[in-house]
Amino acid sequence: MSLKAFHILFVAVCVVMCLAVGAWGTREYLAASNVTGLGLAVACFVLGAGLIVYGFKVYKKLAELG
């Protein structure tokens, strides 16, 4: 596997983890009014969305490299 492919895989795993941690933070906030959990959830959802956009852009860029 090349660095290109591993990087795309890495970004995909990060997105999944961001969504999972975001869901955990949301649950923490709803169950125990944990403000840290809410902050973490918001940060993770934003990061996940950013990584999805980045993932598509970098996939195109790296494909151009050959």
Partner 1 sequence: MQIPYTIEERPDTGLYNAKLGIWLFLASEVMLFGALFSSYVLLRTGDPGFMTMSHDVAEALHLEGHAHRWSDVLSVPLAFVNTLVLIFSSVTIVMSWASLRLKDFGKFRLWMGLTILCALGFMGIKAIEYSSKFSHHLYPETSNFLGVYFTLTGLHALHVIGGLIVLAYLWGPGSKMWKSQPQRFVNRVETVGLYWHFVDLVWIFLFPTLYLL
In the complex, which residues of this chain contact partner 1 (CB under 8 A)? 1-4, 6-7, 10, 13-14, 17, 20-21, 24, 36, 40, 43, 47, 51, 54, 58, 61-62, 65
Taking the complex as a whole, the smallest distance from the CB of residue 31 to partner 1 amounts, in Å, to 13
Provide, rounded to whole angstroms, the least separation between the CB of residue 6 and partner 1: 5
Give the whole-angstrom CA distance, residue 60 versus residue 12. Answer: 15
Q: What is the largest CA-CA distance in the chain?
A: 50
Nearest to 2 by CA among 51, 45, 62: 62
- CB nearer partner 1, residue 10 or residue 56: 10
